[in-house]
């Protein structure tokens, strides 16, 4: 996901997202890989707001799918929502030690600078369940289940480089970063039972300020001037 544009005036919209994507690792050694390296994707779009992408491991250990559901708010409400459901099916014939990562680089308000992020934990599980990133009144909130084992808030591109380097990464559990060009991630470390599935559900919600329509007090003098010019032109 490289773009999430939301209308902020009758004539303009602003992209709030640089990148959100997923990485994975099987076992405790070796690097993480982006999920688009698993295989060519199978993509289906049952309707205009729903997208499925699925990948199949060439070694037969698992398959993985992501379902995106987009719900735009009412026109000029400044709100938009995306839910994602990630399903990992263990097809290896043995318990599968899996590591799954969400990486997010939002740039709220359409600017990389000025953002702050806070990751928070469920009070009962003490595991990560939420991220809140803001630049002024531009806010994105992410809520996840099951809660993640690790999280990391930092400055672009530290976390992205960790996920793309050649060694295994465990997120460092730092809770806050900013203001600046912040990014953040979550990490799940399940052992998926033989023949079992692991399902992650996430909801991301954006609120941005909206520039209202010009008021009638501003528009009416202009309309009268236009009508007077038309009358003058006709007569
Ligand atoms: Ca910003
Ligand atoms: Ca950012």
3-state secondary structure of 76: coil
Ligand 1 centroid to Cα of residue 127, in Å, is 27
37: preceding bond cis by omega (within 30 degrees):
no
Q: Please, what are the averages of pLDDT over each run of 10 residues along the chain (235 residues)?
A: 94 96 97 98 97 98 98 94 98 98 98 98 97 97 97 98 97 98 98 98 97 63 55 56
- Token representation of residue 46: 């049952």
Please give the Cα distance from 208 to 20 (Å, whole number).
Answer: 19
Closest ligand by atom to 177 CA: 2
3-state secondary structure of 232: helix
pLDDT value for 218: 54
- Token representation of residue 142: 């992410």
Closest ligand by atom to 104 CA: 2
Please give the Cα distance from 8 to 25 (Å, whole number).
Answer: 39
Residues forming beta bridges with residue 162, ordered by sequence position: none
| Residues around ligand 1, an ion, CB closer than 5 A | 108-109, 111, 114-115, 135
Please give the Cα distance from 160 to 47 (Å, whole number).
Answer: 32
Nearest to 202 by CA among 138, 151, 168, 160: 151
Ligand 1 centroid to Cα of residue 185, in Å, is 18
pLDDT value for 212: 77
Please give the Cα distance from 57 to 186 (Å, whole number).
Answer: 22
Q: Are 6 and 82 in contact (CB under 8 A)?
A: no
């Amino acid at each position: 996901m490289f773009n999430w544009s939301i209308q902020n005036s009758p004539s303009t919209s602003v992209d709030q997202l640089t990148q959100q994507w997923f990485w994975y690792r099987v076992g405790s050694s070796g690097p993480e890989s982006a999920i688009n390296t698993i295989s060519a994707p199978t993509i289906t779009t049952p309707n205009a707001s729903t997208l499925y992408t699925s990948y199949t491991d060439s070694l037969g250990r698992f398959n993985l799918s992501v379902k995106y559901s987009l719900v735009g708010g009412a026109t000029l409400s400044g709100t938009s929502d995306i839910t994602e459901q990630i399903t990992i099916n263990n097809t290896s014939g043995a318990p599968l030690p899996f590591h799954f990562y969400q990486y997010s680089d939002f740039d709220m308000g359409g600017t990389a600078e000025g953002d702050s992020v806070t990751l928070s934990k469920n009070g009962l599980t003490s595991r990560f369940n939420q991220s809140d990133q803001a630049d002024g009144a531009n806010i994105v909130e992410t809520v996840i289940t099951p809660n993640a084992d690790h999280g990391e808030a930092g400055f672009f591109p530290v976390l992205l480089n960790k996920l793309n380097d050649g060694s295994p990464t465990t997120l460092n559990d730092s809770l806050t970063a900013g203001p600046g060009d912040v990014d953040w991630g979550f990490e799940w470390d399940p052992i998926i039972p033989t023949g079992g599935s692991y399902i992650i559900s996430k909801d991301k919600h954006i609120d941005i300020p909206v520039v209202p329509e010009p008021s009638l007090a501003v528009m009416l003098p202009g309309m009268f001037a236009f009508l007077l010019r038309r009358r003058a032109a006709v007569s």
